[in-house]
Amino acid sequence: MKTVDYPPEQISMSATETMRLGEKLGGFLAPGSVVALSGGLGAGKTCFTKGIALALGISDEITSPTYTIVREYEGAVPLRHIDAYRLSGEADFELIGGEELIDEDRVVVVEWPEKIARFLPQGTIFVDIEIYGKKRTIRIRQ
């Protein structure tokens, strides 16, 4: 992964801005990158992922994998989008073969990463999205 030269805090006032901020981060990602997205329901995690997908050359519609747990997308760099919301914890992730889902052949985005924390590799990029009315504060840390 390239060095992420991304401001540690950004403000978004719309879904379009949230997507553009994801696209900006996506420009720094390479196969093997893992992005852990935290934030409440409706915070914009999937919207942020849509931006990452654009940067990776993915033209498919990006939808939340809440009910399927995992979605795969092909582009210049493939993307695996994992939503751990419905998992009861790390044991559930292990039962679905979670260890194999975080690999070096693609970018992996994980929503609700706190549920599968021990599976996140060193070097994971953590993105926290907080909602204040229509305003979202997006914080990035490694």
pLDDT tens digits for range 90-108:
999 999 988 899 988 999 9
Q: What is the 3-state secondary structure (H, E, C) of 120-141?
A: CCCCCEEEEEEEECCEEEEEEE
1 vs 21, residue with greater confidence: 21
Bridge partners (DSSP) listed for residue 86 = none
Structural domain includes residue 49:
yes
Q: What is the reported pLDDT for 1? A: 46
Structural domain includes residue 2:
no
Bridge partners (DSSP) listed for residue 36 = 110, 126
Residue 133: which pLDDT band, with cuts at 50, 70 and 90? confident
Residue 28 sits in a domain whose CATH number is 3.40.50.300
Q: What is the reported pLDDT for 8? A: 84
Structural domain includes residue 48:
yes
Range of the domain at 53: 9-141
Structural domain includes residue 100:
yes
Structural domain includes residue 3:
no
Number of structural domains (the chain) is: 1
Structural domain includes residue 1:
no
Structural domain includes residue 120:
yes
Q: What is the reported pLDDT for 54? A: 97
Nearest one of 43, 73, 36, 38 to 55, comparing CA atoms: 73
Q: What is the reported pLDDT for 75? A: 94
Structural domain includes residue 70:
yes
CB 65 within 8 A of CB 81: yes
Nearest one of 30, 16, 22, 20 to 104, comparing CA atoms: 30
